Amino acid sequence: MPRPLILVSNDDGITSKGILTLINVMKELGDVLVVAPDSPQSGMGHAITVGESLRLEENLVFKGVKAYQCSGTPADCVKMARHFVLKGQRQPDVVVSGINHGSNTSISVLYSGTMSAAIEGAIEGTPAIGFSLCDYSHDADFSHTEEYIKKITKQVLDKGLPKGVALNVNFPPKQSQPLKGVRICRQANAKWVEEFDQRFDPNGRRYFWMAGSFVNFDKGEDNDEWAIANNYVSVVPCQFDLTAHQAISILNEEWEILDRSEQTEVSEYRIPGAEDGLKIQ
């Protein structure tokens, strides 16, 4: 039986410390293909390149691993891997992205290039995982993530994921105490409160630098922010369907501009395969 084919990408760029850690773990589980940005692409969200050319070059930095660097976004990288590098060939068994140098908990998942690479995999029907370390320090230690990355990825390879779902996995910074384990969580109700610092360049032209603070409104103990604060690995199942299904019936009932004669009844929505459990051993 052939080893699994694992597609690795990220948003910090192909030379980042996090992707090297992830590649080394994935080599223990299967055959690895790397397609990653040639420069940092943090905060790009699910952007794709449509008005500029894309460049793809082989990168020989990883010993024993086929790797390419792409001038595009993380989503571009997954598209290029599937539809150019692997065109007409075997497709990946899993897409893994990261390890991101910084948190992708809560609302950050919408802005994250790391998670967009994983979501792109899910859009294509491939099980996918985005890994992030909640540590922004220059010399962040990724070593405590390796065991759990291997376990989580092996679970996904062995048992799959519900259709259209990608996992958003975040790790606390390394501490004196070992990680307590894994929590399957929901996304916390939190957001960035932005501020824009007005500045002037040497020519007197005005520009702005975005700043702000992260505010957590969530008091629950079942969300990713709580898990990270309490030294757990947080795992949040994410989907690319952004429809607010619970609002459809409300709008149908309350809006006065709808043609009631042609209104169809909305059935209860369930994510395909959501009845399947996800367990980390």
Instruction: Output the pLDDT for position 274.
Output: 44
For 48-82, the pLDDT digits (tens) are 999 899 999 999 889 889 999 999 999 999 999 99
Which residues belong to the annotated binding site for a divalent metal cation?
11-12, 42, 100
For 72-123, the pLDDT digits (tens) are 999 999 999 999 999 999 999 999 999 999 999 999 999 999 999 999 999 9
Which residue is it, tokens 């020989």? 60
Which residues belong to the annotated binding site?
11-12, 42, 100
Q: Are 54 and 84 in contact, with CB atoms under 8 Å apart?
A: no
What's the CATH superfamily of 5-186+220-239? Survival protein SurE-like phosphatase/nucleotidase (3.40.1210.10)
Q: Where are the domains of the chain?
A: 5-186+220-239
Instruction: Output the pLDDT for position 31.
Output: 97
For 4-37, the pLDDT digits (tens) are 999 999 999 999 999 999 999 999 999 999 999 9
For 169-219, the pLDDT digits (tens) are 999 999 999 999 999 999 999 998 889 999 999 999 999 999 888 888 899
Instruction: Give the three-state DSSP class for 41.
Output: coil
Closest CA to 160 of 131, 192, 188, 121: 121
Residue count (the chain): 281
Instruction: Output the pLDDT for position 259.
Output: 73
Instruction: Output the pLDDT for position 178.
Output: 96
The residues, ordered by sequence, that sit 6+ positions from 185 with a Cβ below 8 Å of its Cβ are 222, 223, 224, 226, 227, 234, 235, 236
For 243-274, the pLDDT digits (tens) are 999 999 999 988 988 776 665 555 554 544 44
Instruction: Output the pLDDT for position 273.
Output: 47
Backbone torsions φ then ψ of 31, nearest 5 degrees: -85, 135
Strand partners, 31: 5
Closest CA to 52 of 78, 76, 36, 85: 76
Q: pTM of whole model > 0.85? A: yes
